């Protein structure tokens, strides 16, 4: 089974301004097409795992309970739309204090311990930052950067939905040679 590791802020939901954090379900807003993209991954039998840095916990901007509330809201909205996540892994630590904070790969290794059939060289890491891409490179995974220029839309930015339809679902449907 192929696995797609998704960053959260800036990939699934609107990314808050620098120095700000999504601390409540009211502040959590799905990006256009992200729910549909996750549903497409589910339909293609791709395991979908969110791997997210949430430094706001370490800074005291929010507690783990608040973060879990945001994730509960996200999961509930996805279920209502016929989509689901297989797991969410979160690093609540400060910079340079752990091995799980991306670009570290600790969260990915934790996912592999819980889903032993994950093959990093067949997995996708989909993110919007250098940290996401560096973590994916360290794993030897396939990389897709959201927000990078493309000719597909007027904004010139690749969305999660475009990434999933172009690179994952379309690749899965190509006939074997």
86 classed as catalytic: no
How far apart are alpha carbons 129 and 139 in whole angstroms?
16
Cβ atoms of 75 and 87 closer than 8 Å = no
Annotated active-site residue in 9, 121, 128, 153: 9
Tell me how far apart the alpha carbons of residues 166 and 33 are, in angstroms, rounded to a whole number: 14
Is 7 designated active site?
yes
CA dist 102 and 59 (Å) reads 17
Q: How far from 133 is each of 23, 38, 143, CA to CA, in Å?
A: 25, 20, 6
End-to-end CA distance of the chain: 20
Rounded to the nearest 10 degrees, the angle between the axes of helix 64-80 and helix 34-43 is 70
Q: Which one of the listed residues 7, 121, 130, 172 is annotated catalytic?
A: 7
d(CA 175, CA 18): 44
DSSP 8-state secondary structure symbol assigned to residue 93: P
Angle at 15 between CA 12 and CA 16, to 5 degrees: 145
Q: Which residues are tagged catalytic?
A: 7, 9
């Amino acid at each position: 089974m192929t696995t797609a590791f998704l960053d959260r802020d800036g990939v699934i939901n609107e990314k808050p301004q620098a120095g700000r954090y999504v601390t409540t379900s009211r502040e959590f807003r799905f990006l256009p097409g992200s729910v549909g993209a996750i549903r497409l991954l589910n339909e293609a039998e791709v395991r979908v795992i969110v791997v997210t840095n949430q430094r706001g916990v370490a800074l005291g901007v929010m507690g783990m309970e608040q973060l879990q509330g945001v994730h509960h809201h996200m999961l509930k909205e996805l279920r209502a739309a016929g989509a689901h996540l297989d797991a969410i892994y979160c690093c609540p630590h400060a910079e340079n204090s752990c091995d799980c904070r991306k670009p570290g790969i600790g969260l990915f290794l934790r996912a592999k311990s819980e889903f032993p059939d994950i093959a990093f060289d067949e997995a996708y890491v989909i993110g919007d930052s250098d940290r996401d891409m560096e973590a994916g490179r360290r794993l030897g995974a396939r990389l897709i950067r959201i927000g990078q220029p493309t000719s597909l839309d007027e904004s010139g930015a690749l969305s999660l939905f475009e990434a999933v339809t172009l690179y994952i679902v379309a690749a899965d449907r190509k006939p074997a040679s």
